[in-house]
Amino acid sequence: MSDLADGAQSEQARSADTSAAEPSAAEPSAAESSAAESSAAEPPSTEPEAGKKKKSRPFWKELPLLIGIALVLALFIKTFLVQAFSIPSDSMQNTLQRGDRVLVDKLTPWFGSEPERGEVVVFHDPDGWLDGEPTPKPNAAQKFLSFVGLMPSAEEKDLIKRTIAVAGDTVECKKGGPVEVNGKALDDKSFIFEGNSPCDDMPFGPFKVPDGKIWVMGDHRQDSADSRYHTSDANKGFVPVSQVVGRAVVVAWPVNRWSVLSVPDTFDQPGISAAAGAAPGVLGLAGAVPFVLRRRRRLTAGRTAG
């Protein structure tokens, strides 16, 4: 009995030593405790997880912003760059037909550019040229779209004609004859309406175009109340350059009539410019001045010596 008791006691003693030597599973080790303390000391990360992406706004929320930007751009383009105009009459046939849409360059006038001979220009009514003419009455939507430049203007009283003469030019046309600018006859068969005469319905001139003015005529001469018919107005039929909106550069609509509105060759013929005609005389005078001054100095020196 004593041997068995001694064996049991020695076994219990060995078990107690073993459990004392091994750490308890419930108690954390020193390394684990320090890692836990360091992680507790660090602040939580505010960066989104790599796998998550920022949620995009719905399209219907961005649509009003996109529309607003488009309208602002359209208004800017209409005001400073290009504006669409609708042709309301037959006065520019066959170059332009009633209902055509043309694009007008409004940028170059901002840099001091003025109309040149042969250009088709849009201008505000200078002296009641359109008095008595019916004016369309657009609805609210048409007014708004016209204001921002998405539709041609229907309310503004604008006209479109071809520039025939500019400041300093002398322009005239006798019955049965051609239009003459600074004594040079214009070959207008390439652009006036077929079967029309240059001015038999209303001969005019000679008139000298004042500074800051232009003389305009329609290509459909017998169906155009242009400068010829307004010589008794305040501007004597001339159109102030300040009233010019810009040059019509292209027919944009309908698609089958798309074309560039170029300047006919007859307006580029030699000698048509009033400045070019005066140039030889000016150059001759400039060359004579030094010769005269030199001769006068010699005569003065001779008299002084005598």
Pairing of strands 244-253, 170-173: unpaired
Task: Give me the catalytic one of 78, 106, 161, 213.
Answer: 161
CA dist 282 and 275 (Å) reads 10
From 86, 91, 146, 273, the catalytic residue: 91
The first and second tokens of residue 239, run together, are 């159109």
Are 2 and 8 in contact, with CB atoms under 8 Å apart? no
Is 143 a catalytic site residue? no
- Is 61 among the catalytic positions? no
Please list the active-site residues: 91, 161
